[in-house]
């Protein structure tokens, strides 16, 4: 029915609560701060807000280590603050999507404390426990935040599995009682009024049937658990059970975070008739600029190749058309800022390239996600010292590669962190040219980017032609033009190293999207374009036909 498709013409705004707006001067963003800023979000024109986790958490992984799924963390406020935010959002016509983390919990969760206490308590099988093998860890799997994926607990004389930090024990989805406890918890939030869920690393919940050692990259001590546990044997069974227990009959928006998922996986995970999820976050387009040395994975400081980027995005556009549904994102709280990564954040080019990247993405098929500050063209932090960073993934990586492995030197690793660290996305939202950019009256938990006097919401809202106003126009066009939702995607000039161009067609009209990914002027002729075809939107004030200026983006409708 059409009501369940509302999310196909919606635009989502992702708020990282810790860094959005502090209301009590403790330097940490909070729920009352978000409530104060809802008019700003509404004016962008978006339909949904996605909040990163706000549940009670020790904050080892900034809330992705949940100690109480039924309570709001005091750093962010109270349940009353949450209810006030939800009520205010709904009153402004904004839906609210929660981030649910059920691949793992915090080791401070009551479930885990009980589970670890003995082998025969009601929570004993809520987590993944294995006996030692020859006196050591059950397998050679390594955790994504460093070290072994296994941690020994004397009270059970067993190891537990943790895909991420030691403080993030994986939940055992083989246990029907654990699964029911998850569904009950999700229904608690749906009954409270939330409008959807972003499901954290949800394609890792089904572990391999048999636990055996995995392949180890040269020079690395462990086998990376990511590929070992992605898209496991019972994943679709579990998601269909979740659908039946939580999603069925409700017009929720559900998006699964699925690192390692292929187009084929997504055709099932986000399939129109799969009864699993509405859409997924896939990671191919944000994994193309990784390090050629496999030891370093994502840690790199090199640009992406345009041809590989256009082939990856095109594969997903054509692969899911009429079968499933894409999410569309450049940024989130785990990715560096796109204008610094795939664009050009030099002052002469920053706003032009930010608008070019936004144009490329927002005319594709899928639901766009705008990450806080992306609409301002906020840039990477360009930190130069290790103690500028807070993210355990970055700090652990520096420690591992420089101090433990000696795989590289400090200067190189600091360059990798500056280009790739998740903290690039987590510097506080830049509201105005005031101390700490108006984010806090206290000391921010993570430094504000020093470019805030130039790059801030107040300036953007009062500057015609700003990135902010451009995003407003893109969001409005998506609500106005069904062709953006329904058109069939076709890539033009597939091997062009400088220009990315594609069409969207529905048999009546055509969108022609042209983006110059370089600072150099290019010249390209498009015979598809009728001479009198109107320009729908452009990041320049005029149209010079075949001449494409630095980072020029333009869209024709005919």
Nearer Cβ to Ca ion, position 26 or 174? 26
Of 4 and 36, which has the nearer Cβ to Ca ion?
A: 36
Contact criterion met (CB below 8 Å) for 505 and 488: yes
Element (H, E) at 373: none
Asked if 101 interacts with ligand TEU (CB under 6 A), we say yes
- The answer to the question of residue 205 lying near ligand TEU (CB under 6 A) is no
Per DSSP (E only), the strands in 205-303 are 223-224, 253-257, 279-281
**Site pattern 326..355 for ligand TEU (x: CB under 6 A):** -------xx---------------------
Name the maximum alpha-carbon separation found in the chain: 76
Does residue number 201 form part of the binding site for ligand TEU (CB under 6 A)? yes
Does the protein bind ligand TEU through residue 107 (CB under 6 A)? no
Q: Does residue 393 carry a catalytic annotation?
A: no
Does the protein bind ligand TEU through residue 200 (CB under 6 A)? yes
- Chain residues in the site for Ca ion (CB under 5 A): 22, 24, 26, 28, 30
Please select the residue that binds ligand TEU; options are 138, 142, 259, 373, rule is CB under 6 A: 259
Binding partner at 61 among ligand TEU, Ca ion, none, C-beta below 5 to 8 Å by kind: ligand TEU
Q: How many CB atoms lie within 10 A of CB 68?
A: 16
Residues 155-184 binding ligand TEU (CB under 6 A) are 164
Distance CA(249)–CA(312), nearest Å, equals 34
The one of Ca ion, ligand TEU, none whose footprint includes residue 345, by CB under 5 to 8 A per kind, is: none
Per-residue binding letters, 480-519, with ligand TEU (x by CB under 6 A): ----------------------------------------
Reduce the secondary structure of 504-554 to three states and give it as a string.
EECCCCEEEEEEECCCCCEECCCCCCCCCCCEEEECCCCCCCCEECCCCEE
Helices 235-242, 176-192: crossing angle, 10 deg rounding = 40
> Catalytic pick from 61, 200, 393, 552?
200
220 binds, among Ca ion, ligand TEU, none (CB under 5 to 8 A by kind): none
In the complex, residue closest to ligand TEU by CB: 64
Please choose which of Ca ion, ligand TEU, none residue 298 contacts, taking the beta carbon within 5 to 8 angstroms, the exact cut-off set by kind: ligand TEU
CB of 529 to ligand TEU, least distance (A): 39
Per the rule left: phi > 0, alpha: psi between -120 and 50, beta: everything else, 556 is: beta
Cα distances from 46 to residues 156, 235, 253, 474, 476, in angstroms, run: 49, 32, 14, 10, 9
Residue 22's binding partner among ligand TEU, Ca ion, none (Cβ under 5 to 8 angstroms by kind) is: Ca ion
* 221 CB-near residues (< 8 Å, 6+ apart): 142
Residue 64 Cβ vs ligand TEU, minimum distance, rounded to whole Å = 3
Distance CA 317, CA 366 (A): 8
Catalytic-labelled residue, pool 47, 73, 167, 257:
257
Is 257 annotated as catalytic? yes
Of 66, 144, 194, 255, the one binding ligand TEU (CB under 6 A) is: 144
- If contact means CB under 5 to 8 A according to the sort of partner, which of Ca ion, ligand TEU, none does residue 26 touch? Ca ion
Closest CA to 485 of 318, 362, 333: 362
List of residues 6+ apart from 460 with CB closer than 8 A:
375, 376, 466, 467, 468, 469
* Beta strands, E only, 147-263: 150-153, 158-161, 196-199, 223-224, 253-257
* Shortest distance (Å) from residue 35 CB to ligand TEU: 24
Identify which of 310, 285, 242, 331 has the alpha carbon closest to the alpha carbon of residue 12.
Answer: 331
Per partner kind, with CB cut-offs from 5 to 8 A, the member of ligand TEU, Ca ion, none near residue 30 is: Ca ion
Report the residue number, 332 or 538, with the smaller CB distance to ligand TEU.
332
Which of 13, 16, 64, 76: binder of ligand TEU (CB under 6 A)?
64
Whichever of 17 and 259 has its CB closer to Ca ion, that residue is 17
Nearest residue (CB) to ligand TEU, 257 versus 423: 257
Put the strands of the sheet holding 129-130 in their side by side order.
129-130, 158-161, 150-153
Distance CA(377)–CA(339), nearest Å, equals 7
Interacting residue with ligand TEU among 298, 400, 436, 459 (CB under 6 A): 298
Least Å distance between CB 257 and ligand TEU? 6
CB within 8 Å of 91: residues ≥ 6 apart:
none
* Residue (80 or 547) nearer to Ca ion, CB: 80
Q: Are 141 and 150 in contact (CB under 8 A)?
A: yes
Q: Which is nearer to ligand TEU, 259 or 377 (CB)?
A: 259
Region 369-398 residues binding ligand TEU, contact defined as CB under 6 A: 393
Residues that bind ligand TEU (CB under 6 A): 61, 64, 101, 144, 164, 200-201, 257, 259, 298, 333-334, 393, 422
Query: What positions carry a catalytic annotation?
Result: 200, 257
């Amino acid at each position: 029915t059409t009501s369940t498709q509302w999310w196909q013409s919606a635009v989502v705004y992702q708020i990282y609560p810790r860094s959005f707006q502090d209301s009590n001067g403790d330097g940490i963003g909070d729920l009352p701060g978000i409530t104060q800023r809802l008019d700003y979000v509404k004016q962008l024109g978006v339909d949904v807000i996605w909040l990163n986790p706000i549940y009670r958490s020790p904050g080892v992984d900034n809330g992705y280590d949940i100690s109480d799924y039924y309570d709001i963390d005091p750093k962010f406020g109270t349940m009353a603050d949450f209810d006030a935010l939800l009520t205010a959002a709904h009153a402004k016509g904004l839906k609210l999507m929660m981030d649910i983390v059920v691949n793992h919990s915090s080791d401070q969760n009551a479930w885990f404390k009980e589970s670890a206490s003995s082998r025969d308590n009601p929570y004993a099988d809520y987590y993944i426990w294995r006996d030692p093998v020859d006196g050591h860890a059950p397998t050679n799997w390594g955790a994504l935040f460093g070290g072994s994926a296994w941690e020994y607990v004397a009270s059970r004389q067993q190891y537990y599995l943790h895909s991420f930090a030691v403080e993030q024990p994986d939940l055992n989805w083989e246990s029907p009682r654990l699964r029911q406890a998850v569904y009950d918890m999700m229904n608690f939030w749906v009954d409270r009024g939330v409008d959807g869920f972003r499901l954290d690393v949800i394609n890792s919940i089904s572990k391999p049937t048999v636990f055996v050692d995995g392949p180890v990259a040269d020079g690395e001590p462990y086998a990376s658990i990511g590929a070992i546990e992605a898209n496991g044997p019972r994943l679709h069974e579990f998601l269909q059970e979740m659908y039946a227990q939580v999603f069925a009959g409700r017009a929720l928006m559900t998006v699964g975070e699925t690192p390692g998922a292929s187009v084929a996986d997504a055709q099932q995970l986000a399939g129109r008739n799969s009864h699993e999820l509405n859409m997924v976050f896939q990671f191919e387009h944000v994994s193309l600029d990784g390090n050629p040395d496999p030891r370093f994975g994502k840690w790199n400081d090199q640009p992406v190749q345009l041809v590989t980027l256009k082939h990856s995005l095109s594969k997903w556009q054509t692969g899911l058309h009429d079968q499933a549904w894409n999410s569309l994102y450049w940024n989130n709280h785990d990715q560096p800022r796109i204008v610094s990564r795939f664009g050009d954040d030099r002052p002469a080019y920053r706003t032009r390239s930010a608008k070019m990247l936004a144009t490329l993405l927002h005319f594709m098929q899928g639901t766009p996600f705008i990450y806080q500050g992306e609409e301002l063209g906020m840039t990477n932090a360009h930190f130069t010292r290790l103690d500028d960073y807070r993210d355990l993934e970055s700090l652990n990586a520096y420690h591992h590669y420089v101090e433990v492995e000696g795989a590289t030197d400090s200067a190189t690793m600091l360059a990798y962190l500056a280009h790739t660290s998740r903290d690039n996305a987590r510097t506080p939202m830049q509201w105005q040219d005031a101390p700490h950019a108006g984010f806090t009256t206290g000391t921010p938990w993570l430094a504000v980017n020093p470019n805030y006097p130039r790059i801030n919401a107040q300036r953007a809202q009062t500057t015609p032609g700003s990135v902010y106003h451009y995003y407003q126009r893109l969001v409005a066009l998506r609500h106005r033009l069904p062709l953006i939702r329904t058109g069939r995607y076709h890539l033009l000039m597939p091997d062009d190293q400088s220009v990315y161009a594609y069409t969207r067609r529905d048999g009546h009209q055509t969108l022609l999207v042209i983006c110059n990914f370089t600072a150099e002027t290019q010249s390209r002729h498009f015979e598809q374009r009728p001479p009198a075809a109107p320009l729908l939107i452009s990041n320049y004030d005029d149209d010079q036909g075949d001449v494409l200026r630095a980072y020029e983006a333009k869209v024709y409708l005919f």
